Amino acid sequence: MNALSAPAPDLAAIKTRQQATWSAGDFGRIGVRLQSVGESLCEAVDLQAVDRVLDVAAGNGNASLAAARHFADVTSTDYVHALLVQGRVRAEADRLPITFEIADAEALPFADGSFDVALSSFGVMFAPDQPRAAAELLRVVRPGGRIGLANWTPTGFIGGLFDLMATFVPPPAGLRSPMEWGTVARLEELFGGDAAEIRTTRRTYTFRYRSAEHWIEVFRNWYGPTHKAFAALDESGREVLHATLVEFLDRWNRAGERALCIPAEYLEVVVVR
């Protein structure tokens, strides 16, 4: 069967598997360490205290919390209920008023133009139907509003990690890589027709761990894609994956033998509707 006759990927089935992946482990233990990205994203979109803000695929609420600290009216959404519960606990601890709602990034339950700003920090980029997810972001933001995204790049650390994991657990056939959201070309394809402006800035988030073994322990237990990859392999495969990750992490580490310090490039994006 050639590429022209290959069946289209079953996006509904893929989404169900993805939801199970992100529900595995406990992404909140990873996500909470990315709080600085949400703060930077709010500055990038020039968030105002009067803005109505939607955080899409919010996880445990980094961008939601950042926006609420600016006195914006914030709605935080995700399709993993447990992560929204964690976001609510964090908001209550900081005494920040945020509305939490289960929602699919590809079918947002909000009227056209309901928000001044839509945010997504390493979230919407993983939606299997990329054009539909982009169209939903554009739909719910008013004309003149802003969409702020933080997307891992294909050439950065996380892009390399996903390439490595794909050699052990291949992704679904026919699915565009989520890392394409970290490229200007794909952003132009997804948003260019409806955007007054697209601005991008390359930024770095630094992962800081005690060692490669410490990173693997945390990500194997708590990060859904890594957790699922180890679970899908037999004991021999898990040993090979572990050794391959150690080698990979050592190549990226800039702290030498003392600790693990890995710069991870991401693209900070502002789309003006």
Q: What is the pLDDT of residues 62-109, one digit of tens each?
A: 999 999 999 999 999 999 999 999 999 999 999 999 999 999 999 999
Confirm if 56 and 124 have CB atoms less than 8 A apart. Answer: yes
Distance separating alpha carbons of residues 161 and 245, to the nearest angstrom: 8
- In the chain, the amino acid numbered 89 is V
Residue among 5, 18, 10, 12 nearest 228 (CA) = 18
Cα–Cα dist 164/118, whole Å: 31
- The answer to whether the beta carbons of residues 88 and 55 sit under 8 Å apart is no
For residues 248-261, give the mean pLDDT. 96
pTM of the model: 0.92
Distance CA 159, CA 188 (A): 20
What the chain holds in terms of domains, given with CATH numbers, is 3-158+173-207+265-272 (3.40.50.150)
**Predicted local distance difference test score (pLDDT) of residue 238:** 95
Rounded distance between C-alpha atoms, residue 56 and residue 268, angstroms: 15
- Dihedral angle sign, alpha carbons of residues 57, 59, 64, 66: negative
Least confident of 160-169, 170-179, 182-191, 209-218: 170-179
Q: How far apart are CA 137 and CA 57, in angstroms?
A: 11
Name the H helices within 169-234: 184-191, 212-222, 224-232
When pLDDT is averaged across residues 151-159 and rounded to a whole number, the result is: 98
CA separation, residue 150 to residues 54, 81, 111, 134, 158 (Å): 14, 22, 24, 14, 13
Distance of CA 80 to CAs 22, 25, 65, 104, Å?
7, 12, 17, 9
Stretch 37-55: mean pLDDT: 98
For helices 130-140 and 184-191, the axis angle rounded to 10 degrees is 60
pLDDT of 206 strictly over 80: yes
In this prediction, residue 6 carries a pLDDT of: 54
User: What is the C-alpha separation between 234 and 260, in angstroms, rounded?
Assistant: 28
Residue 155 or 20, more confident:
155
pLDDT of residue 7: 66
3: confidence class by pLDDT, cuts 50, 70, 90: very low
pLDDT digits over 112-144, tens only?
999 999 999 999 999 999 999 999 999 999 999
Query: Which pLDDT score, from 0 to 100, does residue 1 have?
Result: 43
- What is the overall mean pLDDT for the chain? 93
In this structure, of 112-121, 158-167, 169-178, 209-218, the range with the lowest mean pLDDT score is 169-178
End-to-end CA distance of the chain: 41
